[in-house]
Amino acid sequence: METAIISGKGGTGKSCIAAAFASLLNPVVLADCDVETANLFLLFDPLPEETQVFIGGRSAHIDGTLCTNCGLCMEYCRYDAVYLSDGQVAIDEANCEGCGLCSRVCPRQAIAMVDNDKSRLYSGSFRHGQMIYARLAPGEDNSGKLVGLVREKASALALDKQIEDILIDGPPGIGCPVMSAITGVDRVVIVTEPSMSGLLDLQRLLEVVNGFGPSTWVILNKHDLHPAMARRIESFCRKSGIAIAGKLPFDPLVPEAMVHCKSIIEWAPHSGVARELKKIWNTITNQTDNNLWKHKTRVSTPD
């Protein structure tokens, strides 16, 4: 079973909740798909057993000895990535999208496309099973592709180590990396918080998720910080037919656990938040399994 935990808005507590579920599942394959700013390895300190290089696109490099400054590349580039520096044509790396058109049009073959090879994918064991995480080099493209690679690795490890559950800690936003993190999963858990931004980001995220069709759950984190807004989000979910798996209160124990590099389940297993998280996990798994079971019987019934 693959479960993805996502949130449109950052900082809603997605990683802390993913860490808690990982402690509950034990053994689990934990895939940190927040490849731009991976954090779970800080809590779980996995033993890096394997490192892979990820090519996150390409960028153009000009050979100054061949370039005649004809400016054709500048004319064709649509990203303002070619500019004149003291009369010499140069590439602006921040703007270059790696399309390679400049190197195609160059009459002197002075522009080479070089692989961006600074991103890495790590995998190894940790105290609750296996873990995969990645590090996208700053400014590099294709984080969606890297997310896909992290998930591929997770599936391979799950098969290899005979572990049933894969837990995905997803990236923020609504873009390509998120779609890559939830494609084909069995369950999606959206973590949100009771604020105006929390509600708006949840609505935008649902537009994306609805296209994918797995069973979807919402966890309302820190609900007591703004009870009225929490009610508004609850009623929005009811109207849209999205089940709320549970609500978590704001509790200083959660950041405290993080500071000690523990999940809340490990740090305070008998706290209210930990108990609530266990309940939430049971709700999600029982319901999803029931649905799947129903689905399976329906499919296997002969006409």
Partner 1 sequence: MTTHAARNDLAFRIAIASGKGGTGKTFVATNLFYSLLKQNIPVTLADCDAEGPNDAIFFPGRPVRSLPVTRRTPVIDERICTFCGKCRQFCSFHAIFMLPVSRVIRCMDELCHGCGACLYACDAGAISEKEVQMGELNVFSVTRTARIVESRMQPGFPSPVTLIKAAIREAGHANTPLPGHSVLPGHTVLLDAPPGIGCPFVQTVSLADYVILVTEPTPFGLSDLKQSVECLQTMEKPFGVVLNRAGTGNDGVNEYLDKEGFPLLMEIPFEREIAFNYARGRLVCKSWPGFQHALVKMHELIRRTYGNGHHQR
**Binding positions for partner 1, rule: CB under 8 A:** 8-12, 15, 36-37, 39, 42-43, 57-58, 76, 78-80, 83, 85, 90, 92-95, 97-101, 104-105, 113, 136, 138-141, 143-144, 171-176, 193-198, 200-201, 204, 207-208, 222, 225-226, 228-229, 250, 252, 255, 258-259, 261
The span from the CA of 88 to the CA of 94, in Å, is 18
**Which residue, 158 or 206, is less far from partner 1 as judged by CB?**
206
**Which residue, 159 or 261, is less far from partner 1 as judged by CB?**
261
Closest CB 141 distance from partner 1, rounded Å: 5
**Which residue, 67 or 163, is less far from partner 1 as judged by CB?**
67
Closest CB 73 distance from partner 1, rounded Å: 12
**Which residue, 157 or 258, is less far from partner 1 as judged by CB?**
258
Closest CB 61 distance from partner 1, rounded Å: 13
* Amino acid present at 109: Q
State the residue for tokens 């998720």. 209
**Which residue, 94 or 159, is less far from partner 1 as judged by CB?**
94
Closest CB 296 distance from partner 1, rounded Å: 31
At 266, give phi and psi (nearest 5°).
-75, -40
- Beta-strand runs (E) in the chain: 2-7, 28-32, 47-54, 58-62, 82-85, 88-91, 111-115, 119-126, 129-135, 166-172, 187-192, 215-220, 243-247
The span from the CA of 238 to the CA of 253, in Å, is 30
Closest CB 138 distance from partner 1, rounded Å: 4
Residues 42-65 as b/e (b if ≥16 CB within 10 A, e otherwise) read ebbebeeeeeeebebbbbbebeee
**Which residue, 228 or 299, is less far from partner 1 as judged by CB?**
228
In terms of Cβ atoms closer than 10 Å to its own Cβ (0-12, 13-18, 19+), residue 70 is middle
**Which residue, 8 or 214, is less far from partner 1 as judged by CB?**
8
State the residue for tokens 């572990």. 163
Closest CB 211 distance from partner 1, rounded Å: 8
Closest CB 253 distance from partner 1, rounded Å: 11
- Cβ neighbors of 298 (< 8 A, separation 6 or more) are none
* Amino acid present at 115: D
